Amino acid sequence: MRIQANCNTCERTFLLSQIGPDSDAPGRCPFCGARFARHYTSLLVEAVHEAEIETARFVQVLGKLQAMEAGFDLDIDGLLRSFEEQVRGNERAST
Ligand SMILES: [Zn+2]
């Protein structure tokens, strides 16, 4: 899944895949070269990779449920609200 971020140094927007383990400069801004999470770059690069895989997996697993004639409808709006609340909660916890 495409996850975007903004560099705090040059303020440009990039995709997390551009700083992941398969990128040209893992852990660095693709525009200005700023090093992200300087003291734990390898953890960052790994976490970026995981975030992309797991968010894609999240969508894929829900897709399996959506494809079934389950006799119920998923509350997608409720799920997305809950997802946003929890992700925003992480943001608040880290600031
Ligand atoms: Zn930058």
Rounded distance, CA 58 to CA 65, Å?
Answer: 11
Q: Find the 21 Cα to ligand 1 centroid distance in Å.
A: 18
How many CA atoms lie within 13 Å of 14's alpha carbon, on the beta-carbon side?
A: 24
Three-state DSSP at 14 gives: strand
Q: Find the 51 Cα to ligand 1 centroid distance in Å.
A: 20
Q: Find the 81 Cα to ligand 1 centroid distance in Å.
A: 31
pLDDT at 91: 86
Q: Find the 18 Cα to ligand 1 centroid distance in Å.
A: 12
pTM for this entry = 0.79
Rounded distance, CA 63 to CA 51, Å?
Answer: 18
Bridge partner list, 35:
28
State both tokens at 51: 């975030």
pLDDT at 44 over 80: yes
